[in-house]
Each structure stands twice: as C-alpha cells, then as structure tokens.
Structure 1
C-alpha cells in the first residue's frame, strides 16, 4: 500500500506487534473479500495439510483482490477462522512461510478465532479480508 494512503495505529507505549498491526487508518475504495478456504478456483481441495490450505486461501484472496486492481499490500484487515488452535501453533513456521510467500511483508490488522467447524468439511481455515485501494 502506498505509505501516503494509510497510517499504522500502534500505540507507542504498547509492546510491538509481531506479524500484524494493531490498527490501520486508510482512505480510498474499500474491497471486501468473502471468507476464502483452502480450495482452488474449481472449489476442489488439493490438500488436507494445514499450511497448504492456508497458502491456497491466501492465494484465493490475492486473486480476488487482483480483480479490483489491488494486491496484498492493500489488505487492511484479516479475520482468520481456524478449526484447531494446536495445529496452527504447531505449524506456525510453515504458516508464516506460506504467508510471506503469498502476502509478502504486508501485515494488516488481524484477528484469529478458533471455531468448532467450517461449512466445508475439509476446510481447516477460512480467511476474510478488507482492503483499501487508494483513490
């Protein structure tokens, strides 16, 4: 995202956020990306691997953003829904690598929630995004 079009909101007296920001103020056109799961564009799961599904869900997000002429750098908010906190924590290194490969070093305001289940039986993660494309 163009630095002149957004401002990171991290109170100076707080411990530094790692891998996300506490808040972002942005101006421009808002893009809302529905929750994306780890299946491909044909709605087929190619893997049951947690990190593999994260990678595919993030790629799906990037593909949707591209339809608006946006990219990962325009993401301002992410909400992750995961079915297994322990699996996420055990695979953190692989998840981080997948994130950086697809999203780069763009770290929007993020929330992660463990849920009992997702609508798609094979889905282990669902991620929704709000992005702002500068005017």
Structure 2
C-alpha cells in the first residue's frame, strides 16, 4: 500500500510521492513517485552557466546545476514540481556528505520543498574535467 507525502513537500498537479506503509518518512527525497503525463528527460547537466563557465566550488556547482535543470524543465513547459527523479553523479562523495547542511538552502532556492526520487552515485571523473557534479532529471509534464 502507498500513501503520498503531504502536498507541501512533494506533489504536483499530476505526480505524487509514494511511501510503503510502515516505512520511515525519507528526508530530502522520495522513495518513489507516481506521475501521469508527458515525459521530459534531461541529459547530464553540470554546474556551468550559459557561457560554459563553471561555478567555483562544490556547493556552487550543485546550485548552478540545479538552476540549469530548472531552466530546461521550464523551457519544456514544466515546473520543478513536475520532476519525478534526479540522478546525481559526484566526483567526491566525502564533499557531498560534508556539504549536506550547505546544500539544503541551495537545493530549496531552486526546487523549494519538492523532493523527487533521487540517487547519488560516486564516480571517479566526469566528461567535463572541471565538473564536480552532473545531474540527470526526469520530469512528467501535464498531458
């Protein structure tokens, strides 16, 4: 059996988080999402601006990457609340773990209190040598 998260945390017009009965409430992500509509999939986006200049530092790159995801989803006619999945690839998992307190405000500045299903994967390197993080997003837009 599933139950959705409170609407203020992770719900849109056509997507909702699911949580198996008896499971603890996740913090900052959803275990699963149910959505209905058109699928928008981003490529792996990195922490550079429209001119290809990377933000300085791990947290700054994550902020820019999330802003880039938001821009792509909005260009496709969606909103951040339509995002149902994020897959993060980070080159320094210790930096990620040590930055959680700083990441919260950066995440909320871009996505508010919307927490889709997420995975964080440590990788040795990314295609762009300066990139410290790359994130893929899946959004389901209203039909």
For normalisation by structure 1, the TM-score amounts to 0.94
Q: CA deviation at 1:55?
A: 0.3
Q: CA deviation at 1:33?
A: 0.8
What secondary structure does 1:110 align onto? strand
Counterpart in 2 of 1:71?
Answer: 79
**Unaligned ranges ≥5, structure 1:** none
Counterpart in 2 of 1:18?
Answer: 27
1:39-78 paired onto structure 2 within 5 Å: 39-47=48-56, 49-78=57-86
Aligned equivalents of 1:37 and 1:86: distance in 2? Answer: 19
| Consecutive aligned runs of 4 or more in structure 1 exceeding 6 Å deviation | none
What secondary structure does 1:46 align onto? coil
Paired residues, what number?
A: 133
Aligned equivalents of 1:100 and 1:33: distance in 2? Answer: 20
Please provide the CA RMSD for this pair.
1.1
CA deviation digits over 1:61-98, x for unaligned, max 9?
01111111111111000000001111011111111111
Counterpart in 2 of 1:130?
Answer: 138
Counterpart in 2 of 1:6?
Answer: 15
